[in-house]
Amino acid sequence: MNLDFERKLTLPPRDRAHWHAPAAHPGPLLYLAWGQRQYGLSPIPVTRHEGWVYAAIESGTPTLVRANHRDSVRAKTILILGPECAFGWADEGEKTSRLLVSTWRAPLLTPLAKLPANAALQFSFSPAELGEWQRLHALCRIEARRDDDQTARVLNALQILIEAQLVRLGVEKRNAFGDELLAQALEWIGAHLETRQPLARLADYLGVSSATVQRMFDERLGASVMKVVADLRRREADRMLAQKGTTIKEVAFRLGYSHPHDFSRAYQKQTGRPPKSAK
């Protein structure tokens, strides 16, 4: 655990949208933050936090600063950060990002309650899933401001809905690599052999992180995504080269190469023979 770091909530500048519970507040919700941030101008120092932080990056690429490293977090990412995970935020210059953050006293759903107190997890999400997160966060803001004798019950219900989304995003997509998801991945690769960033684009299409896609290929196929892409490109190259009248230039451009000699070099490296031998 990061006991060297104090436990403290560092608030953003007063004009940045946020809410925090009063010191004697007994409810489940401790903190909410939303809207635009400029962590290059107003960084958040590395500290431990009360409660569990669930943060969705709507836009931008803020830097998550932890004890021993810094990670640029891309948009459409949700983070789960335990109370013993010391972290802060930074960014470059005046770059902006938009976040939706909620901090809860303790997890309610079992898969999250079983996580270690120093947990630091991240998952990608789709636009539809972001929309659901935005709606739930807005309801949390409304209820926190209302603060009547029903607020604690309503916030508990909202926390369950938020954590159910996290479980679906994280646990199910990380562990349930079924035939359908793999089939979708292979179909997409076959239809986009020309892309120069197959792993990142495939992860966007499937709505999961690049690490999740890579792990699925490792577990189900015993090969990396790039190895599978290279094999499918080679098969497509062989198919096209076998057709009468197809030029090496046409094959190269179909497979995303800027120049025919780049394709020829890659083909010979993979197969041990020049492309013209396949004709």
Token pair belonging to 105:
């006293």
d(CA 62, CA 57): 8
Residue 136 is predicted with a pLDDT of: 97
Nearest-Å Rg of the Cα atoms of the chain is: 24
**Structure tokens given for 100:** 């939706």
Q: What is the mean pLDDT of the chain?
A: 87
How many CB atoms are closer than 10 A to CB 21? 20
What amino acid occupies position 200? A
Q: Confidence band (pLDDT; 50, 70, 90) for 92?
A: very high
* Cα distance between residue 245 and residue 238, in whole Å: 13
pLDDT score of 175: 46
- Residues 200-224 have pLDDT tens digits of 999 888 877 888 788 888 877 778 9
Question: In the chain, what are the domain boundaries?
Answer: 18-175, 179-278
Q: What's the confidence (pLDDT) of residue 103?
A: 98
Distances (CA, A) of 252 to 151, 233, 241: 62, 10, 10
Other residues' Cβ atoms within 10 Å of the Cβ of residue 190 = 13
Quick one: pLDDT at residue 171?
54
Rounded mean pLDDT of 18-39?
92
% of the chain beyond a pLDDT of 70: 95
Same fold, 18-175 and 179-278: no
Q: What are phi and psi of 47, to 5 degrees?
A: -145, 165
Q: Mean pLDDT, to the nearest integer, of 146-164?
A: 95
Which of 194, 264, 265 is CA-nearest to residue 229? 194
CATH architecture of residue range(s) 179-278: Orthogonal Bundle (1.10)
pLDDT band with cut points at 50, 70 and 90 for residue 65 = very high
Residue 93 pLDDT > 80, yes or no?
yes
Q: Which residues contact 165 (CB under 8 A, 6 or more apart)?
A: 129, 132, 133, 136
Quote the pLDDT of residue 233.
Answer: 84
Q: Which fold has domain 18-175?
A: Jelly Rolls (2.60.120)
